[in-house]
Structure 1
Amino acid sequence: MSATTAVTYDMTAIDDRAPNVGRQFFDRVRATPNREAYRYPKGDSWESQTWQETGDHVTKLAAGLVALGIEPEQRVGIAAGTRFEWILADLAIMSAGGATTTVYPSTMADDVGYILADSECRVVFAEDDSQIAKLLERKSELPHLAKVITFDGATDGDWVIGMADLEKLGDELLAGNPHVVEERIDATRPDSLATLIYTSGTTGRPKGVRLQHKSWTYEGAAIQAQGILDETDLQFLWLPMAHSFGKVLLSTQLACGFATAVDGRVDKIIDNLAVVRPTFMGAAPRIFEKAHGRIVTMQASEGGLKEKIFNQAFKVGLQVDRLEREGKPVPFLLAKQRALFDKLVFSKIRDRFGGRVRFFISGAAALNQEIAEWFHAAGIVILEGYGMTESSAGSVVNHPDDYRFGSVGLIFPGSELKIAEDGEILIKGPGVMEGYHNLPELTAEALTEDGWLHTGDIGDVDAQGFLRITDRKKDLFKTSGGKYIAPSAIESQFKAICPYGSQFLVHGAERNFVVALITLDPDAMEGWAAENGMAGKSYAELVASQQVKDMVAGYVETLNARLNRWETIKKWILLDHDLTVESGELTPSLKVKRKVVEDNYKSEINGLYR
């Protein structure tokens, strides 16, 4: 079955897109030189740069890379968190004709060594001393690595230099050859390698995904063609730039011309939103789950009249939303109540996010529909999108004026989507990868001869062309009774029901019933502990207490009442720590490494079946 939709787009932006990212960037500089391009924190305040100022930096940095001997398509790594310098480095690499290899700052030294060796990186941008230390630890394994450029770390004047040193090298080269960067851009073909992104490895060693310049320029042009964003928007960007979701937002910015405020510190997101007051932001579902849980638990702690008003506000808001979606009239008194609650409750929630957000974009994992509807009742639109690293992150997205809860939207213009006989989603289009780096057999498994990408996800498409994801193909399991279970559907429901929940992992393959591993949100549990006479106790002490077990049991019972008999959770345990990126149980994009968790807690899972 192929997805079809009556939506039509102006394909001019796609057909006339720049041949490479360097040209796309400098076209933007020339088009709007004096408009704000980037905003970034400096101490307690924010500083700003125009497109022209950003272009001047990128030119010098790109020329500096050429001076260091970077040749077309040679790899240059970036091992850093999300910040303005990451973007400068990335644009400079591609403008010099090189290819960016992304490394998460949380990646362990062993995997850093593997990624940089497999990609044969010649130069690496390293954020600070901790990232430099990883490179030094693995230096003997990296014969190709000639130079390290640090943002904040200590330099040695030889192997490790600073950004200012690189700009100085660029200045010197430009003095003798002022057109060197333009020449590199002109020589970069649409099918030249632009980026090597190593998948975060929910199973096994990370695979390097080869993405070409034409993929990134297409992604930005496809968003531009859909009219979702324009120059007047302001993005807040915190997503890991080492992840394809962050990278696609950069391409979108170059195409559409809006300004971006950049700060990758996750603990500062809410504070920054209030200061920056963006019109949109991309995020992983975990951010919305945490925000939902925090708001609900804070209101519950208030108790009394305030809690009653809050609960009634959402009862009314959800009822009005449902009537409007069904095309039914909203009764006069109900509409008046909705307007009153907007002033008393919903406007305050919107203010927590800056008060100007037109929409959020959720990607990287499935967003629970109930949480999306809850935010929508408060006047906050969360548009789900879908894609994967192998398709340059963006393939399908809902539109601000045309979206469906529970769906991830419509296929990008210029791309195709179809559902295989076994339900797997297949994608074809300019965003699809060239293949996996040095892995021809895996490339052949992922790509058909005529260019269709096997996503590994199961889904269906409705009559209007909206795609719905039902589960990961590899995560579906069958009980010993022969019943198929889609774990993510159950897991996301628990997170919507329990405001203290963090992770909920369902197991039961070839077993006679389903069990779950549960973790709670440490921040939310601090508040719970203070309200329940357990202030000061550690997370491990809290989850070991009968009081917390009884609280969680109530939420599991609520979940089970919604499930088919064979899906219900018969037994469960609370883990003594939340899953984190640092523990190796979450990817940097906050997805659970299911196999790692299952291996780590094999004996506990087996114990639930005794």
Structure 2
Amino acid sequence: MEPTRLFDLIPYQIATFDKEIALSKKENGKWKSFSSRDVKEIADNLSLAFLKVGVLPGEKVAIISHNCPEWNFIDLALQQIGAISVPMYPTITSADYEYIFEHAEVKMIFVGDEIIHEKAKAAAGDRLIYSFEKLKGAIFWEDFLAIGVNEDILGLEYAKEQVKASDLFTIIYTSGTTGRPKGVMLTHANVLSNLMAIANIMTPDQGSSRVLSFLPLCHIYERTGFFCFFYIGFSIYYAENMDTIGENMKEVKPHAFNTVPRLLEKIYDKIVAKGYELKGIKKSLFFWALDLGLKYNPNTSAGAWYDFQLKLANKLIFSKWREALGGEVQQINSGASALQPRLARVFWAAGIKVCEGYGLTETSPVVSASICTLEDMRIGYVGKLVADVEVKIASDGEILVKGPNVMQGYYKQPELTAEVLQNGWFHTGDIGQMDGEYLKITDRKKEMFKTSGGKYIAPQVMENKFKESSLIDQLLVVGENRNYTSAVIVPSFEGLKDYCQHKGIPYTSDAEMIEKPEIVDKFNREIEGLNKFFGKWEQIKRFKLLENSWTIESGELTPTMKLKRKIIHQKFAEQIDNLYKD
């Protein structure tokens, strides 16, 4: 029986794979696992508990937690009774919670830990709060589960029969880079169509492979990923937190995982930093291999000599990179923002297949995805359109999408819905082009700007290129309605320390180093070297170095690690203005 609603994946997995480890999490230093049948039993009892306390079809329940099996149990249980989950990021503010609770008309709230509980409590009003940890002032989820244990299963079967594929199962409030979040309404059919399309292009063996999950489940990227992995019988292991990913990789030895470019950049920078620590022949070999990797093109033969060297580099150097990821990775899916082409090159050269895709919350999310074979891979592209999805490019270059994955609209915002959904086509706000079967993204329509000279600037393309410097960690291109382009830059302080050590420059503090004339001069040379890839009107004329990284916690990044341009402009308005003073 093919699933028609997302909770149908539970009996489907039992019938097809009947897994001993369907979900797993680290608890008190040990992995605690749940089988396919455990998932069914827990989800059913939770559904019965929701029915017992009077949750009705169409009512909303908030889930605010870091990734864990309990998150999935609540989600699946709500689906089975026709209720609607409203997942939220653990990192947003109490004010954001209050807005979403009110706007979505949330009835009850599930939280992960004490910190989230405190923020949610301040915004909850008279709503009951349930928690995945034993907390004062919250009802423990297992106590809630117990309410359903002796209830009549026939009542649940009847409730399930009433749920249609076209029913809403979730409202996801997009983090957004500006303004209030919008509630994206998705149905069972939206996400099912998408997970079926991407299941066909997952290369690890169905039923026996492992994945490590660490991107937030409240984001549609990892949520659809979860449903896809569950459908094809992968064992899903949840990383303890973002700081333990490396350690958890070595324990789980995943065959696949989803990630975002920012994390791949950090992995790459960490590897290169270790290369700088090497001495003598080991260091020479490391950078010889790295240089080979940066020249790699999966679609073009570089000749027998290059192939021989690459084979040797894989044995001597790149094998250690693969070991750091657990040693068994066959596919890494990268999405949510643009991947630097050089990272794709070097990882593919190292036998680490990074497959870039493209999508949005409003498209459930996948529009296109790279197929994980040498023949089908195209670096710099976001792959081919997935099954049943259509794309056309508007006259201004905007990507328009049509398909069963496209949302129903924005909750309670018909005017905004009408702006983006026109004649069945969703207007993405992204600029791109089709090259045969392959889609290429060039920028965000709303992020492009004009200089005072009337020239258009596509900042994302430039930012990705400049971040290829080992000295640049983060960068924002500015210059709207100004007479030239500038940038605010967060240096890679690890890279800067390596440079200073190499040049014999004493390193004091980050704040002091970025003011030193010889350091500013080095950054000038880096910028000049990369400016040559752009037209004269695009080139960065001036820049300001900043001492603190932009993070989710400090407010400059979205939860999927994209730049919040408006916030950065506001926070560093004085520094940006100074770039345009004589």
AA matched with 1:29: I
Query: Are residue 164 (structure 1) and residue 137 (structure 2) matched?
Result: no
Alpha-carbon distance between aligned partners in 2 of 1:348 and 1:564, rounded to the nearest angstrom: 40
C-alpha contact 2:299 2:378 (8 A) present in aligned 1: no
Per-residue Cα deviation, 1:286-321 (whole angstroms, up to 9, x for no partner): 0011111111122123243222212222333455x3
Using CA pairs below 8 Å that are at least 6 residues apart, which structure has the higher relative contact order? 1
Q: Give the Cα–Cα distance (whole angstroms) in 2 for the partners of residues 242 and 591 of structure 1.
A: 16
Asked whether 1:184 is paired with 2:159, we answer yes
The SS at the match of 2:95 is helix
Question: What SS does the aligned partner of 2:22 have?
Answer: strand
Alignment of 1:532-571 (within 5 A): 538-546=509-517, 548-571=519-542
Describe the superposition over 1:394-448 as per-residue Cα deviations: whole angstroms up to 9, x where unpaired: 1210111222100111111011111111110011111111100110100000101
**Shift in CA distance, 377/120, structure 1 to aligned 2, threshold 3 Å:** same
Match of 1:7 in 2: none
* 1:76-95 paired onto structure 2 within 5 Å: 76-95=61-80
Corresponding residue to 1:148 among 91, 108, 129: 129
Amino acid aligned to 2:155: V
**Is this contact kept in 2: 1:368–1:492, CA < 8 A?**
yes
- Look up the match of 2:56: 71
Give the whole-Å Cα distance in 1 for the aligned partners of 2:77 and 2:384: 33
Distance in 2 of aligned mates of 1:541 and 1:317: 35
Identity %: 33
Q: Distance in 2 between matches of 1:476 and 1:544?
A: 30
Distance 2:199 2:294 in 1: 32
Q: Is the 8 A contact 2:466 2:527 kept in 1?
A: yes
Query: Structure 1 168/301 Cα, relative in aligned 2: closer, same or farther at 3 Å?
Result: same
How far apart are residue 602 of structure 1 and its match? 1.7
Q: Distance in 1 between matches of 2:327 and 2:55?
A: 45
Query: Which residue number corresponds to residue 460 of structure 1?
Result: 433
Please say if residues 277 and 354 of structure 1, whose CA atoms lie closer than 8 Å, have aligned partners that are also in contact.
yes
Q: What is the Cα deviation at residue 165 of structure 1?
A: 0.6
Distance 1:276 1:213, change over 3 A: same
2:554 to 576, 583, 590: 583
Distance 1:103 1:273 in 2: 26
In structure 2, relative to structure 1, the CA distance for the partners of 1:303 and 1:131 (3 Å cut) is: same
> More deviation in 227-236 or 185-194?
227-236
One-letter amino acid matched to 1:561: K
Write out per-residue CA displacement over residues 318-375 of structure 1, whole angstroms, 9 at most, x where no aligned residue.
Answer: 55x33x522x4722x4333222221111111111111111121110000011111111
Report if the CA contact (8 A) 2:113-2:131 is conserved.
yes
Q: How much has 1:376 moved relative to structure 2? A: 1.3
In the superposition, relative to structure 1, how do residues 168 and 325 fare at CA in structure 2: closer, same or farther (>3 Å)?
A: same
Match of 2:243 in 1: 267
Question: 1:117: how far off?
Answer: 1.1
Q: Any idea what SS the aligned residue of 1:194 has?
A: strand
Q: Which amino acid aligns with 2:253?
A: R
**TM-score normalised by length of structure 1:** 0.90
Deviation at 1:524, TM superposition (A): 5.9
* Aligned counterpart for 1:335 among listed residues 307, 329, 333: 307
Cross-structure match for 2:175? 200
**SS state at 1:325 partner:** coil
Q: 1:515 to 1:43 in 2, by over 3 A?
A: same
1:430 and 2:404 are equivalent in the alignment: yes
2:316 maps to a residue whose letter is L
Match of 1:118 in 2: 103
The answer to whether 1:419 aligns with 2:379 is no
1:315 aligns with one of 272, 286, 291? 291
- Is structure 2 residue 24 aligned with structure 1 residue 39? yes
1:451, distance to aligned residue in structure 2 (A): 1.6
Question: Alignment partner of 1:195: what SS?
Answer: strand
Q: Secondary structure at the match of 1:261?
A: strand
* Number of the residue aligned with 2:323: 351
C-alpha contact (below 8 Å) 2:186/2:364 kept by paired residues: yes
Partner residue, 2:93 = 108
What is the distance in 2 between the residues matched to 1:566 and 1:540? 31
CA distance, structure 2, for counterparts of residue 560 and residue 51 of structure 1: 54
- The answer on whether the counterparts of 2:293 and 2:345 sit within 8 Å (CA) in structure 1 is no
Contact 1:314 1:378 in 2 (8 A): no
Q: CA deviation at 1:98?
A: 1.2
Q: Can you give the 5+ residue segments of structure 2 that lack an aligned partner in the other structure? A: none
Structure 1 residues 436 and 318: CA distance shift in structure 2, 3 A: same
Q: Where does residue 593 of structure 1 map in the other structure?
A: 564
Check conservation: 2:332, 2:353, Cα contact below 8 A.
Answer: yes
Contact 2:211–2:255 (CA under 8 A) maintained in structure 1: yes
The amino acid of 1:281's aligned partner reads F
State whether residues 236 and 262 of structure 1, in contact with CA within 8 Å, keep that contact through their aligned partners in structure 2: yes
Match of 2:416 among 426, 432, 442: 442
Partners of 1:51 and 1:528 lie apart in 2 by 52
Partner secondary structure for residue 407 of structure 1: coil
Contact 2:451 2:481 in 1 (8 A): yes
- Unpaired segments of 5 or more residues in structure 1? 1-15
> For residues 501 and 42 of structure 2, what CA distance do their matches in structure 1 show?
50
- Is 1:482 the equivalent of 2:454? yes
CA distance in structure 2 between the partners assigned to 1:106 and 1:225 by the alignment: 33
Matches of 2:201 and 2:257, distance apart in 1: 17
Cα shift at 1:67: 1.6
The separation in 2 between residues aligned to 1:90 and 1:47, in whole angstroms, is: 20
Give the TM-score normalised by the residue count of structure 2: 0.94
Superposed CA RMSD:
2.1
Q: Secondary structure at the match of 2:366?
A: coil
Q: Deviations over 1:546-591 (max 9, x none)?
A: 4543443332222123222222111000123111111111111111
